[in-house]
Amino acid sequence: MGVVRSVLADGQNLWSRASKTISTMVVRKESALLAEGVRDGAAARAASDYLYTERNGKVTATLNILSADLQTNTLVITA
């Protein structure tokens, strides 16, 4: 079994194409960090730092992570 995760990001921008680009960038970074074994909260902070650095602090995104550990029946929500 293991851990099942869902990552959702919403790029905050006026144009839908730019928002999608930002959202995709954040989800990919977050997913890569989680796959490396980084904990949810630390991965969220790292993805935030990554977005800030890549876009010079000019854009924002909301990020939500839902992690379900099927072995210990534990649910963690990171927002």
- Could you report the per-residue pLDDT of 51-73, keeping only the tens digit for each? 999 999 888 999 999 999 999 99
CA separation for the pair 60, 66 (Å, rounded): 20
Burial (0-12, 13-18, 19+ Cβ within 10 Å), 30: buried
- pTM for the whole thing? 0.85
Location of structure tokens 């929500």: 77
**Over 70: is that where the pLDDT of 1 sits?**
no
**Mean pLDDT within 12-16:** 76
Helix residue ranges per DSSP H, 1-79: 16-35, 40-54
